[in-house]
Structure 1
Amino acid sequence: MIYFDNSATTKINDSVLKTYNLASTEYFGNPSSLHKLGLKAYELLETSRKQIANLMHVKQDEIVFTSGGTEGNNWVIKGTAFKKREFGKHIITTEIEHASVLNVMHQLEELGFEVTYLPVDKSGHISADDLKKAIRKDTILVSTMAVNNEIGAVQPIHEIAEVLKDYPSISYHVDAIQAIGKGLESQIIDPRVDFYTFSGHKFHAPRGTGFIYMKEGKQLEPLMAGGGQESNLRSGTENTPGIAAMAKALRLLKDDEAGKAKKMEQLKDKLIKHLQTLDNVHVFSKVADNFAPHIICFTIDGVRGETIVHTFEERDIYISTTSACSSKKGLEAGTLKAMNVQENIATSAVRVSLDESNTEKEMDEFIKNLDEIHDHFQILN
């Protein structure tokens, strides 16, 4: 089997699973309970929070645990909108955001908020100048992704942050779910950003885990009321085993992060160079500073993306049609649509997404099968 769908989800690391199982059996108490089993679980919870904060170079109380990326994005955007609505109801985002952002924006529009959707250029990047022109007196939030999940474009976070330095009352949220562990920290981490969203299952942690960075002094309206866990921000009994496992996964991820990113980029470069030799193929990802090292989006023109995916699947090779969250709906790639790519080409898009465990041998085997599949469809066309 060759698994090239790591942007959809990653396989849990064996040692991370061991941590999860140990925490489940030895630290099974409720962290809110007063007895020693509860205290034991609470200490593990806070040790995990401290470890994550240290790895992210932030303060311990700036880390808040969630169930993953969708909850994190929902919470930061809705929580900011509800907390700051007396100051304005205008929000700025982009046309290429993940569904967990775009659909939240649509919900807020139904509640009377106004949303401006910034366009992208032909390479999938937004413009800081466009952002500056879109800012109004009633703008309360800007939300952009760090790395596009469909083609891997790295957005100009520092340029956006520079614009927002003149508007300290506007909150800035970055969806960094596809960026963590990819050697991009210098490009996406900026002190002007108020909130970052992360999801555990994107870096070999259990599903149902995630965290947000919430800058000290910033506020969010809680979405869930209850027992007041997470400093009264997110009620509900904490997933202590999952959180401990996520902290372990993040530590492993950060070990030689630059070397792992370089390895992924080398595999990406090899595939892209080969794709560029094939007829009737479009490649939308690049090997460049403003593209992530692990995502390659391409088409075999005239063949629907889901057909390509299932053809590879028959050979025990697993890729996806751009965003896994919308692939079963048979939709064209939203990012390619925003880039004004023709619909008949956009519906042919597929995504290869790598991680540090993938090998050159796997890539060679993938390319061999790619050639056979490509030639097969050229004959049919």
Structure 2
Amino acid sequence: MNPTIYLDCNATTPVMPAALAAAQQAMGALFGNPSSTHATGLQARQLVDAVRARAVRVLGAGEGDVLFTSGATEGIQTAVLSALCGVRERQARGEPVGKLLVYGATEHKAVPESLAHWNRVLGLQLELQVLAVERSGRHDLAALRALAPQAALVCTMAANNETGVVSDLAGIEAVLQDLAPQAYWLVDCVQALGKLPLQLAQTRIDYAPFSGHKLYAPKGIGLLYVRPGAPFTPLLAGGGQEDGLRSGTENMVGIAALGAVLQALEEGDSFSSHTQMLQFRELLVQSLRAAWPEIIFNADLDDALPTTLNFSVPGLPSSAVVDALGIVGVHVSAGSACSAKKVAPSYVLQAMGVPDAQAASAVRLSFGALADAAFIDTACARIARCGAALQARAAAAKALRCGPPLEADQTMHLLPKQLADFLQQHPNAVLVDVREPHEHAAEPQPLGCGHTALNVPLGRLDTHLPHWLATPSVPLLFVCRSGQRSQRAVHTLRQLGYAQAWQMVGEGAI
């Protein structure tokens, strides 16, 4: 199989070469502690300051603070803690504050978990309130208008990690400006970096966390934007690094790598443009529709990031699509990486009103801003191969169940005395025993010559077809007891264009 086509960039991305080089330099020549006052430390401090200044420019942060974190979860925790401490201080001063902690129904689980945790720890006894989303996945602004007057903190996303749906931040801001002057506003911007224009200082956003590993930096580095005047309480206290906003020796390796990514964003010559990403997405959409004509896209493409597709194939569980694409070297996910092990349908799609069966079969495909035309062309070709294999599986299942009587075909036959020569000529051949499991268990080596066969009962042959059809150069030799089942297996594969399929016949065959 050729190199993997990785299409799960909303979960994480590889580290881009420039970021890797910057990280290696930080571990080598720039190894100093930024808090040291000698030349080695000052070199490190210069790097930290330069990356922070670049982050301020890329994010449009203006006079706001930008601090380095370990990632989005820490950024969300810090923002929630800061906002709730601000609420508590207002309460102590007798100022009017809301009683609701409002969060979007499709938010990453880190948001409601953080709200519940710090609300409990601080003893605020505020009420957590889910903000509904429309079928499009965008926040219900009418529902927000009803909640806003009582909101102490409102948490929304810039773009959803599962569906790619881009929030109407301007609409949310207008509601908050009119009806919730007292409310703080946290916007999860993890999926926005490198995909959406950001001018944070021109908005009412109080807190915006980012995560480096979603855009070609290593894991363990992130950013948090804090609007001027927004309350701030450090999550980590200690040596006073980050001007006292976040203690702990700076992650120089992560900061240097993130700086290389931010430089690429600022210079604009490394990443695909928005127009190019839209073109790439359209090619992927066409290939998916050709592979599965009945496909359903779970979010309107006009409302979504150009790098994200969330779809369902009726009649196929998400695991079947993910596994089939995996066979041809295409890696996608059945949802967010944080919840992929859970059996329940996606809570994001359920919040959007997607039927449970459709939500349970959802697959997320997401590419990165470093994708180029050759990468997308290869991805489309493999998706086509996967679709053909699954269609062949369905056709084979039907043929195996109700195929017409077969006529003998000498080109399909191999005599037992020919086996040794056959295996010498085809050392990568796979022997497949299509008997039932109990027959195989009674005699696991059916050829009488010491060769173990893979047991795939004829009724389950279709489950192996996608893998075999993806590797058509591997010779397959089928055996059974009467020869009828192995003949049916070989005939089916030959009909599907798999030329290297034979059956064992004659005396000595099982």
Give your verdict on TM over 0.5: yes
User: For the residues of structure 2 that align with 1:301 and 1:72, how far apart are their CA atoms?
Assistant: 38
Change (3 A) 1:113 1:378: farther
Q: What displacement does 1:344 show?
A: 1.8
User: For the residues of structure 2 that align with 1:84 and 1:373, how far apart are their CA atoms?
Assistant: 58
Correspondence 1:238-317 to 2 at 5 A: 238-254=250-266, 255-256=268-269, 259-276=272-289, 278-288=292-302, 290-317=303-330
User: For the residues of structure 2 that align with 1:272 and 1:236, how far apart are their CA atoms?
Assistant: 46
Other-structure match for 2:49 = 46
Per-residue CA deviations over 1:180-227 (Å, capped at 9, x if unaligned) read 1114448x8852111211111111111111101111121222112211
Change (3 A) 1:148 1:257: farther
Change (3 A) 1:36 1:374: same
Per-residue CA deviations over 1:249-272 (Å, capped at 9, x if unaligned) read 122134158952222211212232
Per-residue CA deviations over 1:313-341 (Å, capped at 9, x if unaligned) read 22221111121111122332121111122
Other-structure match for 1:355 = 368
Kept in 1: contact 2:80–2:114 (CA 8 A): yes
Change (3 A) 1:257 1:128: farther
Other-structure match for 2:133 = 120
User: For the residues of structure 1 that align with 2:34 and 2:80, how far apart are their CA atoms?
Assistant: 28
Kept in 2: contact 1:269–1:287 (CA 8 A): no
Other-structure match for 1:81 = 84
Whether 1:93 aligns to 2:103 is: yes
Whether 1:220 aligns to 2:232 is: yes
User: For the residues of structure 2 that align with 1:8 and 1:109, how far apart are their CA atoms?
Assistant: 28
2:320 partner amino acid: T
Other-structure match for 1:369 = 385
Per-residue CA deviations over 1:50-107 (Å, capped at 9, x if unaligned) read 1111222223762111111111112212321133233454211111001211322343
Q: What is the identity percentage for the equivalent residue pairs of Structure 1 and Structure 2? A: 32
Q: Secondary structure at the residue paired with 2:274?
A: helix
Q: Secondary structure at the residue paired with 1:340?
A: coil
Q: Secondary structure at the residue paired with 2:28?
A: helix
Of 301-310 and 10-19, deviating more is 301-310
Whether 1:58 aligns to 2:58 is: no
Change (3 A) 1:49 1:250: same
2:152 partner amino acid: I
Other-structure match for 1:72 = 75
Aligned length: 378
Higher gyration radius (CA): 2
1:366 partner amino acid: R
Q: What displacement does 1:5 show?
A: 0.8
Of 294-303 and 28-37, deviating more is 28-37
* Contiguous gaps of at least 5 residues in structure 1: none
User: For the residues of structure 1 that align with 2:202 and 2:363, how far apart are their CA atoms?
Assistant: 31
Other-structure match for 1:7 = 10
Other-structure match for 2:356 = 343
Q: Give me the TM-score of the superposition, normalised by structure 2.
A: 0.69
Other-structure match for 2:425 = none
Change (3 A) 1:361 1:276: closer
Q: Runs of at least 4 residues of structure 1 off by over 4 A?
A: 108-111, 256-259, 376-381
Kept in 1: contact 2:194–2:369 (CA 8 A): no
* Contiguous gaps of at least 5 residues in structure 2: 92-96, 399-510
Q: Aligned-residue CA RMSD in angstroms? A: 2.3
1:338 partner amino acid: A
Of 148-157 and 253-262, deviating more is 253-262
Q: Secondary structure at the residue paired with 1:136?
A: helix
Kept in 2: contact 1:299–1:350 (CA 8 A): yes
Other-structure match for 1:105 = 115
